[in-house]
Amino acid sequence: MAGVSFRAAPVRVRVPATSANLGPGFDSFGLALALYDDVVVQVAESGLSVDVAGEGADEVRRDKKNLVVRAVQATFELLGGQPRGLEVVCANHIPHGRGLGSSAAAIVAGILAARELVVGGPDKLPDDAMLRLAAQIEGHPDNVAACLLGGLTVAWTDIDGGHAVRVPVDASIAPVAFIPGTSSSTKSARRLLPESVPHADAARNAGRAALLVAALGARPDLLMAATEDRLHQPYRAPAMPRSAALVEELRAAGIPAVVSGAGPTVLALTTTATREQALALNRRGWSTTPLDVDMEGATLAPLELSGAAAQDPEAPS
């Protein structure tokens, strides 16, 4: 198609899991975690091929409604047009429907891969524009910001779309995720939230959110107070009673714990000194998983090539 040229060589992208909200930072805070999906995308002469292995392989679409494909095609459209064909291969390790940002990972992977497949793509679509596009597709910027940038991010939405900044994370932060075998729906969880909350609760959450930035950045000893939330977790608790009970159990034991995103995963914000205490609390039906903080975010990964694809830098458009 006139106006855009595509590279023939495939692109491999690695994207981290993310935990959003972190207690009081509803729809704004995100933390990248060292659990990854790998996605390989290549333009083709015709058609659409989607191959998925690992988490969600039995559930995700393998047509144009696949979330990675949607993100790829949205990016191509923004950059000038679509190739004649597309091949997508996903190796997923991020659990689906567990509050660990699997949809954000798919979106960010698709956008980054598509940008790299377009000649001059990085100049035409800088990182801040990628974030806005990802937030537009996802509907909110918290998970996609952490997935794209890595580390701890604070995201917000203005009239021109999503924005984010990355803030420091203390090197001792060593989270533990309690991942259940059952999933939940983010849309269903949002429907449980009231249209308004008491002013005192909103003010308290604002203070706790500000404290959480300081606690994760340099004062982990303040994480119990900093992770207190009154805006979303209490309202969602009836829909995920096991998650709510586990959060309370962990906090009663002195372990800062929150519902990860819309749940039902529970994230313990432990440190290298306290992680073993959380890991010792094994519960039947939960996978107790240490997940370090990912500091890189979405990255391009090397992919060994041979033959014509490695030699021909561009494909017909």
Query: Does residue 186 carry a pLDDT above 80?
Result: no
Mean pLDDT score, 208-216: 98
- Considering the domain architecture, whether residues 255 and 140 belong to the same structural domain is answered as no
Q: What is the domain count for the chain?
A: 2
- Considering the domain architecture, whether residues 145 and 224 belong to the same structural domain is answered as no
Decide if 264 is inside a domain.
yes
Decide if 310 is inside a domain.
no
- Considering the domain architecture, whether residues 73 and 138 belong to the same structural domain is answered as yes
235 φ/ψ angles, rounded to the nearest 5 degrees:
-75, -30
Decide if 265 is inside a domain.
yes
- Considering the domain architecture, whether residues 39 and 183 belong to the same structural domain is answered as no
- Considering the domain architecture, whether residues 261 and 158 belong to the same structural domain is answered as no
**Contact at 8 Å (CB) between 96 and 184?**
no
Decide if 197 is inside a domain.
yes
Supply the CATH number for residue 222's domain: 3.30.70.890
Extract the tokens encoding 297. Answer: 């975010």
Coil, strand or helix: which one is 3?
Answer: coil
| Mean pLDDT for all residues in the chain | 92
Tell me how far apart the alpha carbons of residues 266 and 229 are, in angstroms, rounded to a whole number: 14
Task: Name every residue whose Cβ is closer than 8 Å to that of residue 155 and which is 6 or more positions away in sequence.
Answer: 27, 28, 29, 30, 135, 140, 141, 142, 144, 145, 146, 162, 163, 164
Decide if 5 is inside a domain.
no
- Considering the domain architecture, whether residues 136 and 238 belong to the same structural domain is answered as no
- Considering the domain architecture, whether residues 137 and 20 belong to the same structural domain is answered as yes
Supply the CATH number for residue 78's domain: 3.30.230.10
- Considering the domain architecture, whether residues 153 and 182 belong to the same structural domain is answered as no
pLDDT digits (tens, 9 = 90+) for 58-96: 999 999 999 999 999 999 999 999 999 999 999 999 999
Give pTM, 2 decimals: 0.92
Q: Above pLDDT 90, what percent of the chain?
A: 86
- Considering the domain architecture, whether residues 154 and 196 belong to the same structural domain is answered as no
Q: Above pLDDT 70, what percent of the chain?
A: 94
pLDDT digits (tens, 9 = 90+) for 265-309: 999 999 999 999 999 987 888 999 999 999 999 999 987 643 333
Tell me how far apart the alpha carbons of residues 227 and 215 are, in angstroms, rounded to a whole number: 9
Decide if 2 is inside a domain.
no
Decide if 272 is inside a domain.
yes
Mean pLDDT score, 117-140: 96
- Considering the domain architecture, whether residues 105 and 243 belong to the same structural domain is answered as no
Range of the domain at 122: 11-167+296-302
Query: Does residue 312 carry a pLDDT above 50?
Result: no
Decide if 119 is inside a domain.
yes
Q: Which residue has the tokens 């015709």?
A: 46
- Considering the domain architecture, whether residues 139 and 194 belong to the same structural domain is answered as no
- Considering the domain architecture, whether residues 23 and 151 belong to the same structural domain is answered as yes
204 φ/ψ angles, rounded to the nearest 5 degrees:
-65, -45
Confidence of residue 187 (pLDDT cuts 50, 70, 90): low
Mean pLDDT score, 1-28: 92
Burial of 25 (0-12, 13-18, 19+ CB in 10 A): buried
Tell me what pLDDT residue 12 has. 97
**Contact at 8 Å (CB) between 112 and 38?**
no
pLDDT digits (tens, 9 = 90+) for 228-265: 999 999 999 999 999 999 999 999 999 999 999 999 99
